[in-house]
């Protein structure tokens, strides 16, 4: 599977879906959903029972949601094209968003954010608008309806966008190759101070939270976007990204390296030898549901860990698990 190599490319796509169940509803988890690819076909598992997604050849199921008994899976092909399934009905993103198909020579669009809120489907990304400056638009789509956030040139080609919904507000992160970091809230841009890197955003039941790193240092902090207050500051020599919330606890993952961080403290994992990288995680009342991976000693694989118990595994260089979602009782 070459998890560590490919994960460096897609890891930053995977964190706009971590907090979609209101915290007051989180009692006990009865259903664990996992998306991925097996035998070269996109699929998802519900409590270990696999559903193969239609027309999913050579597509990775990288993220999924379950809302109102509807199952959504975001897929990316090995060729870089996007699609999603709702209840195993496939929708090509080019058709759903009225986009021109990418070619080996020209990238006409780049989708890097996906979320579902109350069965509304959102995407975020960039679209090529022509050959003369400005060349691209930074946009998000709600149920196929586009909102343009900014016109940008090729030199400003933005590379990383998460999209979340918090209290009906739409947040889109905006970090570009020129070192500018910030976010849009309902179309209004909020820039981070120079030298601050936006490393993640999440929605709790009451507010939006971001993870920020001071560039060139090991200093990180979580900030409440509603109040503007710093929630927690900490230092770490890991490359930390993303946010998972559980009641008053804040978790983030390590882009490369063992374990995860809880409230700024590194937590190592040792469920299986050499399986030390957390790809995705959900935490509910301190119970952790995660996908872990290894790519060492000539063996690649992924495992699903549910409340400290291994429930699924795939040993493969080309197949594996990518996204996890939990539904409470």
Neighbours of 259 (CB within 10 A): 17
Mean confidence (pLDDT) of the chain: 87
Say how many CA atoms lie within 13 Å of 82 toward its Cβ.
25
pLDDT(294) > 50:
yes
pTM (2 d.p.): 0.89
Q: What is the CATH number of the domain that holds 221?
A: 2.130.10.10
pLDDT of the residue at 257: 76
pLDDT at 97: 96
In the chain, the number of structural domains is 1
pLDDT at 19: 45
Record the tokens describing residue 257, joined without a space: 């390296």
Confidence of residue 106 (pLDDT cuts 50, 70, 90): confident
Over range 90-104, report the average pLDDT.
Answer: 92
pLDDT category at 103 given cuts 50, 70, 90 is confident
Mean local confidence (pLDDT), 277-287: 93
Judged against a pLDDT cut of 90, whether residue 325 lies above it is answered with yes
Q: Which structural domain range is residue 215 located in?
A: 3-328
Helix (H, G, I), strand (E, B) or coil at 199: strand
User: What are 175's two structure tokens?
Assistant: 């970090």
**What average pLDDT does this structure show over 59-88?**
93
How high is the pLDDT of residue 36? 97
Lowest-confidence range among 75-84, 140-149, 277-286?
A: 75-84
**Local confidence band at 29 (pLDDT 50, 70, 90 cut-offs):** low
Q: What is the mean pLDDT of residues 130-145?
A: 88
């Amino acid at each position: 599977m070459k998890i560590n190599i490919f994960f460096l490319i897609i890891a930053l796509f995977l964190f706009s879906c971590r907090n979609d169940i209101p915290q007051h509803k989180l009692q006990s988890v009865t259903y664990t959903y996992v998306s991925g690819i097996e035998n070269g076909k996109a699929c998802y598992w519900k409590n270990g029972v696999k559903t193969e997604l239609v027309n999913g050849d050579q597509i990775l199921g990288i993220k999924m949601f379950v809302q109102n008994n509807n199952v959504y899976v975001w897929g990316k092909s090995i060729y870089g094209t996007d699609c999603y399934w709702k209840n195993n009905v496939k929708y090509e993103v080019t058709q759903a968003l009225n986009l021109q198909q990418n070619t080996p020579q020209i990238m006409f669009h780049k989708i890097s954010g996906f979320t579902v809120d109350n069965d509304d489907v959102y995407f975020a990304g960039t679209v090529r608008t022509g050959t003369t400056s400005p060349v691209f638009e930074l946009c998000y789509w709600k149920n196929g309806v586009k909102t343009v956030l900014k016109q940008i040139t090729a030199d400003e080609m933005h590379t990383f966008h998460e999209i979340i919904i918090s209290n009906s507000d739409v947040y889109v992160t905006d970090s570009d190759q020129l070192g500018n970091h910030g976010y849009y809230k309902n179309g209004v841009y909020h820039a981070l101070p120079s030298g601050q890197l936006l490393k993640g955003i999440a929605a709790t039941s009451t507010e939006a939270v971001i993870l920020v790193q001071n560039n060139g240092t090991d200093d990180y902090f979580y900030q409440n976007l509603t109040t503007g207050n710093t929630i927690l500051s900490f230092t770490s020599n890991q490359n930390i990204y993303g946010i998972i919330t559980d009641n008053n606890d804040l978790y983030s993952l390590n882009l490369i390296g063992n374990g995860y961080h809880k409230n700024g403290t590194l937590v190592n994992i040792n469920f299986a030898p050499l399986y030390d990288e957390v790809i995705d995680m959900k935490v509910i009342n301190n119970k952790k549901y995660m996908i872990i991976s290894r790519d060492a000693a000539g063996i690649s694989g992924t495992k699903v860990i549910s409340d400290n118990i291994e429930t699924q595994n795939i040993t493969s260089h080309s197949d594996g698990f990518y996204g996890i979602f939990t539904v409470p009782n």
